[in-house]
Structure 1
Amino acid sequence: MELLLLGATGAVGREVLELALNDPSIPTVTAPTRRPLTPHDKLHNPVVDFTMPLPAAGWWKADALLCCLGTTIRKAGSQAAFRAVDHDLILEAAQKAHDYGTPVMVLNSSLGANSASRNFYLRTKGETEDDLRRIGFRRLALVRPSLIDTDREEARFGEKAGLIASRLLRPIIPAHYRAVSARSIARTMLDSVLGSDGVRVIESEEIR
């Protein structure tokens, strides 16, 4: 099974990459990034400028596309810049992979993603999901984690406070809202590559 991984340098993407490179059933992982990754015998790492139109290349064809692309409004600098990544870039990459014959896509989305939401972040996530459904992948898995339990340096103060509270109150927080580890999300994404055709939504409480 050959994988195409987008977002390999983020918290979840790094975990997906590590798991995939150590999985004997996965001979090749293609992970385009802005800067070169640490070389590995199984890793194909095209260097891509994601601010430009995505290149035509044979590596878009894989058995499955796993997409961990994403940013925050604060990090992007504006709502428009956030949407350019979390909607436009994801859709462009997904369409490119589909056009090259990749039949399966797994997206790391968000708890509460809903195109009808009044919250800009969740509405954007929901619109991305809706538009991916229209592309026509044979199998599309939408993974919707709650707060990601990670120690990433760029985490906002509110995220850090939420993680501390989530860890302390985990026994009494409903499973749907508990923070989940980046490693658990990565495992769930890889597991979701296989399965029946159609669209599957994986809510946060299903992530293990």
Structure 2
Amino acid sequence: MRLLLLGATGLVGRNALAQALLHPLITQVIAPTRKSLPERDKLINPVALAIQELLPQMRNWKPDAVINATGTTIKKVGSREAFRIVDHDLPLSFAKAAYREGAQNYALVSAIGASLTSRIAYARIKAELERDVQKIGFKSLTIVRPSMIGGEREEFRLGESIFLWLSRVLAPVLPKGFHVNPATVIARVLVEAAVIGVPGVHFRYSDSLTE
């Protein structure tokens, strides 16, 4: 099986990449990035500063399955418009191109609270990607909506660090849906969904993403 992995440099994406490379049924992982990844067996790492420039290569990649673990924040990219490009337009373009080349299984990291009617741009754009990917026609589509994601990030986020600490301290009294979701668990769900490809549309919520 050939797997296309988007977002391989992020917290969930790094974990998904590590697990996918070890999976016996995955023969090749195609992970397009803006900066080169360390060389590893089974890994193909196309590199371009503008990721959309790699779209024509889908004809050569011909993935069987796709994992989309892309994600950023409006604060990081500077505007709502830039956020939409990164978290909606680019993933959707890659999803459509992969489907045209024969991909049947798709696994997507979305977010808790994703809603088309939300007043929060982040939640609304996440929901728009969910909606638009469902229109493509994948045989198997898994949408994962984690709560706060736990793991070692390459960048420090003060607010997130405080929330993670509070979540762990209050875990005994918090509803399971508000527990921290480890990146390793989310990655495992994504890889399994991409490989197994259970037909239909499936949602996985935060209460099923805890250890």
Identical-pair percentage? 45
Moved more, 157-166 or 21-30: 21-30
The amino acid across from 2:202 in the alignment is: R
* Aligned match of 1:55: 55
Moved more, 163-172 or 40-49: 40-49
Are 2:120 and 1:119 aligned? yes
After superposition, the C-alpha distances for 1:22-47 in whole angstroms (9 at most, x for unaligned) are 22222211111111111112111111
TM-score, reference length from structure 2: 0.93
* Aligned match of 2:187: 186
Are 2:18 and 1:3 aligned? no
Are 2:40 and 1:40 aligned? yes
Aligned partners of 1:60 and 1:96 also within 8 Å: no
After superposition, the C-alpha distances for 1:148-170 in whole angstroms (9 at most, x for unaligned) are 11232434322111011011111
TM-score, reference length from structure 1: 0.94
Aligned partners of 1:60 and 1:102 also within 8 Å: no
Q: Distance in 2 between matches of 1:187 and 1:66?
A: 11
Aligned partners of 1:30 and 1:59 also within 8 Å: no
After superposition, the C-alpha distances for 1:122-171 in whole angstroms (9 at most, x for unaligned) are 11100110011111111111011000112324343221110110111111
After superposition, the C-alpha distances for 1:27-80 in whole angstroms (9 at most, x for unaligned) are 211111111111112111111333544431234421210011111111111111
Q: 5+ residue gaps in structure 2? A: none
Are 2:206 and 1:204 aligned? yes
Q: Distance in 2 between matches of 1:70 and 1:197?
A: 25
Moved more, 56-65 or 120-129: 56-65
Aligned partners of 1:54 and 1:93 also within 8 Å: no
* Aligned match of 1:161: 162
Q: Distance in 1 between matches of 2:27 and 2:168?
A: 37
* Aligned residue pairs, count: 208
RMSD (CA atoms):
1.5
